[in-house]
Amino acid sequence: MNQGKSKVIVQKYGGTSVGTVERIKHVAHRIATYKEKAEGIVVVVSAMGKETDRLLALSRETNASPDPREQDMLLASGEQVSSALLAMALAERGIKARSYLSFQLPIITNNRHTAALIKEINVERLLRSFQQGEVAVVAGFQGITAEGEITTLGRGGSDTTAVALAAALNADFCEIYTDVDGVYTCDPQVYKKARKLSKISYESMMELAGLGAKVLHNRCVELARKYNVKILVRSSFNYEEGTWVCGEDEEMEGELISGVTFSRGETKISVMGVPDKPGIASRIFIPLADMGINVDMIIQNIGRQNAADVTFTVPDDDLDRALQAVKKVAEEVGAEGVHYDQNIAKVSIVGGGMRSNPGVASRMFQALAAAGINIMMISTSEIKISCVIDARYTELAVRVLHDAFGLHKS
Amino acid sequence: MNQGKSKVIVQKYGGTSVGTVERIKHVAHRIATYKEKAEGIVVVVSAMGKETDRLLALSRETNASPDPREQDMLLASGEQVSSALLAMALAERGIKARSYLSFQLPIITNNRHTAALIKEINVERLLRSFQQGEVAVVAGFQGITAEGEITTLGRGGSDTTAVALAAALNADFCEIYTDVDGVYTCDPQVYKKARKLSKISYESMMELAGLGAKVLHNRCVELARKYNVKILVRSSFNYEEGTWVCGEDEEMEGELISGVTFSRGETKISVMGVPDKPGIASRIFIPLADMGINVDMIIQNIGRQNAADVTFTVPDDDLDRALQAVKKVAEEVGAEGVHYDQNIAKVSIVGGGMRSNPGVASRMFQALAAAGINIMMISTSEIKISCVIDARYTELAVRVLHDAFGLHKS
């Protein structure tokens, strides 16, 4: 995909990649190697290393619940620093460069401070920079409202800036530089046979991100899918090719499963002996939804005499609040009791190929059974199967599934 | 001057005053005490403590001669942080506040990066904040060009922002908070009889600043004089009244001398035996002016047979360059030689009252002579007399002059 001269490319460097002046110089060096390959380069940068954390700490110290407008004003300074420094580092290498803040383009967002959505991008000044042979360095993570207020985009914000700019510029592709060198079939720290994928579809990437893979934030992948922006995830610390995140195409047909992933941050709550009447489930889940608690997997076993056991998972952070609400409902509807179990893990396989391969689920269950791992809950989507198991078997399950689907082989 | 309810006041807090979150909270507390006294408050802040130095160090590390545009982009982040934090600290005390960056008002400057001049200020948003009962916190030291580029105002920039805002708002007065509690008759560390002035004229303040007093930068005093903005210089660490810097009025007539000051950073250069022909002086001083070297005092003694000794002072930092240029000229014009002396100091008395009191100069010379201090050079302006003396006698000269003009008495 990256052959010959490209028209426009967008690169995004995360906080670790620009964490020190030395690393910023290294990034400038890397950009230099691209200068001949593209007619226009836009570089989006995050704040240096732990700068955003430092600013957040100052904010917390100053005011326990700061005005989101002022918080955005504060945080936006981080990318302003790194983008100016990168422009200086490029100039030092003899590469013309110019940094831009959101208000200077502008990148217009709505006015939802700390989690703003991009509405419109004007790329005229970027095109002018290209004409003048300048690399355009854009401060990531931030925008400006129509009224001239500084906003920030929330988590994954700089990735979102990069993909949105790539879409607005109709860029050939968008490189996201991070501290890992691509998307793996499973966590290499859990199983050394983990293999870096050369490609993954937007859909599979989103499932993986939703399941806790921290390579890309879902929001930027969604945006990339919407505007068909090809993303290349790679490390700024080496020159490995990385992983392409792009639309499914013929070449990918053969790929059954992209990866195995797991998460441990959830708790299983069971409401036992719920009278089996219509509307009971909503009595349990509406209060949780109202509290903003994200209920993940739900199963209902109808067993003894018109009574059901309802089991579901919630994030550990929300456990106390969830239990309180659930116990109240359980009492009101005359359920027998509420149990919970924190020693669980969710193991998932993800892949676009399972759509046309009906045997995937059974192969997963067999593999776990053969390893003596009991499945407590199951949930499936078109391109994902998740099983809740005893947390003790997490790593074993990942290895067993990785082998069962032959993921070490390309 | 500060009695009853004011219409609009501007306060400026320097880097030391907002150096930590604790100090920012302290500033918020101080502003709270003003809330009832004024209908509109604008607070201008510098960057926190050593933040500008930290950013400059990052810049130097990245590029030995950075693009001034990028330098401004970088440095402007410092005041963005402190203004957002101060707005948060005010909100935490229940005081409505809103921070503003230059582009949001705007504060329009010319495009001379790192030393921009303010051309125009739009105060509409500030007035809107007043109407909504908000304290307006403005990031100092920076502006924006008509083309949307961020600029900085150079040394004394935040003071200049404050005075310019006070002028644009027709504010009742402008308080400049710093780490000293006013303007003194002489350096209290040199002479314990030093007395804080309750008032000083713009003109005398400028002479003092030009002579090395670091309380206020000349540029902001000039601006204040131009727009007749009353400045109150005071400390943010106590509630002492400070010193008013304002136009001369009747009350000040009696004040003969405002203060005694000294500087040690200059070297005396003498070109001996210069043939006394027209145009010789320009042969010496034009090359120095072309090099940007600020020649201060100049005397010329015509003595032996059509030859003169030309003596002048230059800043120590420029000595090497100045000597090189002067030696070249001395050879060309057939002078006898070039000497220099670094062990000199300049002691000055400053005060508007000397205009109408012709005996001031002689009283100064007498006092120095009585203490056995030889005067090497003299220069006078309407409101200042400076003498170059042997550096060893600097402190003695300051004390002697302070006594001679009775400056310890109000």
Residue A372, C-beta contacts closer than 8 angstroms, at least 6 positions apart: none
Instruction: Report the half-sphere exposure of A311 (CA within 13 A, side-chain side).
Output: 17
For residue B300, what are its two tokens? 């010329």
- Which residue(s) pair with A385 in the sheet? A349, A380
A206-228 pLDDT tens trace: 888 777 667 888 889 999 999 99
Chain A hits for B85, CB-CB cut-off 8 Å, are 58-59, 62, 74
Q: What is the pTM of this model?
A: 0.84
Angle of helix A157-168 relative to helix A218-227, nearest 10 degrees? 10
| CATH number where A31 lies | 3.40.1160.10
Terminal-to-terminal C-alpha distance of chain A: 19
Tokens of B38: 């004024």
Cβ-defined contact of B148 to A103 (cutoff 8 Å): yes
Q: Which residues of A touch B92 (CB under 8 A)?
A: 62-64
Query: Is there a contact between A35 and A90 (Cβ–Cβ < 8 Å)?
Result: no
Structure confidence at residue B92 (pLDDT): 96
Mutation target to probe the B interface, by most B beta carbons within 10 A, among A18, A26, A70, A142 is A70
Please list every residue in chain B whose beta carbon sits closer than 8 Å to the beta carbon of residue A89.
62-63
> Which of B84 and B265 is assigned the larger pLDDT?
B84
Residue B175: strand pairing partners: B11, B232
Q: Is residue A406 part of a domain?
A: no
Cβ distance of A73 and B84 shorter than 8 Å: yes
CA count, 13 A, side-chain hemisphere, B239: 6
If you average pLDDT over residues A391-397, what whole number do you get? 95
Cα four-point dihedral sign A322, A327, A328, A332: positive
Longest dimension (CA), chain B: 80
Residue B147 structural domain: 6-179
Q: Which residue has the higher pLDDT, B281 or A398?
A: A398
Rounded Cα gap, residues B298 and B377, in angstroms: 8
Distance of CA A170 to the CA centre of its chain: 23
3-state secondary structure of A217: coil
DSSP string, B360-395: HHHHHHHHHHHTTPPP-EEEEETTEEEEEEEGGGHH
For residue B37, what are its two tokens? 């006294």
> What pLDDT was estimated at residue B3?
47
Q: Do B69 and A101 touch (CB under 8 A)?
A: no
3-state helix/strand/coil string of A41-96: EEEEECCCCCHHHHHHHHHHHHCCCCCHHHHHHHHHHHHHHHHHHHHHHHHHCCCC
CA distance A392 to B225: 77
Residues of B in contact with A52 (CB under 8 A): none
- The answer to whether residue B105 is domain-embedded is yes
Residue B52 confidence (pLDDT): 93
Tell me if A347 sits within 8 A of A389, measured CB to CB.
yes
Does residue B241 lie within any of the structural domains?
no
Backbone angles phi, psi at A307, to 5 degrees: -125, 145
Residues of chain A found within 8 Å of residue B77, distances taken between Cβ atoms: 77-78, 80-81, 84
Mean pLDDT score, B379-384: 83
**Sheet strands (E) in B216-353:** 231-235, 243-246, 259-263, 266-275, 298-302, 307-315, 337-341, 344-350
* Alpha-carbon span A378 to A298, nearest angstrom: 9
Q: To the nearest whole number, what is the mean pLDDT of chain A?
A: 90
Contact residues, chain A to chain B, C-beta under 8 Å: 21, 24-25, 55, 58-59, 61-64, 66-67, 69-71, 73-74, 76-78, 80-81, 83-85, 87-89, 91-92, 98-99, 101, 103-104, 148-150
Q: Is the pLDDT of residue A15 over 80?
A: yes
Q: Is A306 inside any structural domain?
A: no
Rounded distance between C-alpha atoms, residue A41 and residue A96, angstroms: 11
**Strands B38-45 and B6-13, bridge-based pairing:** parallel
- What's the token pair of residue B60? 């130097």
C-alpha separations of B225 from A267, A335, B79, B219, B246 in Å: 70, 81, 26, 10, 7
Inter-chain CB proximity A150 and B101 less than 8 Å: yes
Rounded Cα distance between A77 and A58, Å, is 13
Q: Where are the alpha helices (DSSP H) in B228-359?
A: 280-290, 319-333
Please give the Cα distance from A217 to B180 (Å, whole number): 50
Beta carbons of B24 and A62 less than 8 Å apart: yes
Rg (CA), chain A: 24
Residue range A109-149, pLDDT digits in tens: 999 999 999 999 999 999 999 999 999 999 999 999 999 99
Contact A77 B74 (CB under 8 A): no
Q: Is A95 left (phi over 0), alpha (psi -120 to 50) or beta?
A: beta
Report the pLDDT value the prediction gives residue B2, as an integer from 0 to 100: 43
Start-to-end Cα distance in chain B:
19
What is the pLDDT, as a whole number, of residue B231?
96
Mind listing the pLDDT tens digit for each residue in A243-289? 999 987 745 545 678 899 999 989 999 998 888 777 777 788 888 88
Residue A303 lies in a domain: no
Q: What is the pLDDT of residue A1?
A: 39
Does the distance separating the beta carbons of A66 and B80 come in below 8 Å?
Answer: no
**Whether the predicted pLDDT of B166 surpasses 50:** yes
The answer to whether residue B24 sits within a structural domain is: yes
Q: What radius of gyration do chain B's Cα atoms show?
A: 24
Q: How far apart are CA B77 and CA A99, in angstroms?
A: 13
Identify whether B203 is part of a domain.
Answer: no
The per-residue pLDDT for A2 is 43
pLDDT of residue A3: 46
Whether the per-residue pLDDT at A34 is higher than 60: the answer is yes
Confidence (pLDDT) at B354: 80
Q: What is the pLDDT of residues A321-367, one digit of tens each?
A: 999 999 999 999 888 999 999 999 999 999 887 877 778 888 899 99
pLDDT at A87: 98
Q: For a pLDDT cut of 90, what percent of chain B falls above it?
A: 66
Mean pLDDT of A78-93: 97
Q: Under 8 Å CB-to-CB from B259, ≥6 apart: which residues?
A: B183, B184, B185, B186, B197, B200, B204, B208, B213, B349, B350, B351, B407
Provide the number of structural domains found in chain B: 1
Give residue-wise pLDDT tens across range B36-76: 888 899 999 999 999 999 999 999 999 999 999 999 999 99
Q: What is the pLDDT of residues B211-255, one digit of tens each?
A: 766 788 888 999 999 999 999 999 988 888 899 999 877 455 556
Looking at per-residue confidence, does B223 or B208 come out higher? B223
Q: Which two tokens stand for residue B218?
A: 């000349």
Domain annotation covers residue A349: no
Per-residue pLDDT tens digits for B110-120: 999 999 999 99
